[in-house]
Amino acid sequence: MDGVKGVSNGKIEIFENNLKNPNLDQKKEMDQQNRNVDLNAVAKEFKENLEKLKKIFRGEAEFNIDKDTGMIVVKIKDKDTGEIIRQIPPEVALRLAKNLEELIGVIFDERA
């Protein structure tokens, strides 16, 4: 019976704490709203920096996600010709990352 009393007392204490702190849910909601505001601020700042980059390079910046590696790829293109001036990461680095992922897959398959 002592074990049951301990569990009951513990539950009562938790319940009492929840009654004393009704603002806990409000605090969680405010934290979530702050995170959303932070993300919006980051997105706005990112867009502003992207516009600055476009002016610096006098070209167009194109952002994609590589299908094979899941990496973000930035291509700076000439506005007039559409020619790729620079790609980050370069195509060689993307192929290397893909090959490393395949090699890791083979290694783990052999160990299993």
pLDDT tens digits, one per residue of 29-62: 666 666 666 777 777 888 888 777 777 766 788 8
Same domain, 74 and 32: no
Q: What is the CA radius of gyration of the chain?
A: 27
**Which structural domain range is residue 10 located in?**
1-57
Q: How many CB atoms lie within 10 A of CB 79?
A: 11
Residues 6+ apart with CB under 8 A from 38: none
DSSP 3-state of 59:
strand
- Over residues 24-30, the mean pLDDT reads 63
Do both 64 and 108 map to the same domain? yes
Total number of residues shown for the chain: 112
Question: Who's near 32: CB < 8 A, 6+ residues apart?
Answer: none
Indicate if 6 and 46 belong to the same structural domain.
yes
Q: How many domains does the chain have?
A: 2
Question: Quick one: 36 and 75 in the same domain?
Answer: no
Q: Give the model's confidence band at 90: pLDDT under 50 very low, under 70 low, under 90 confident, else very high.
A: very high
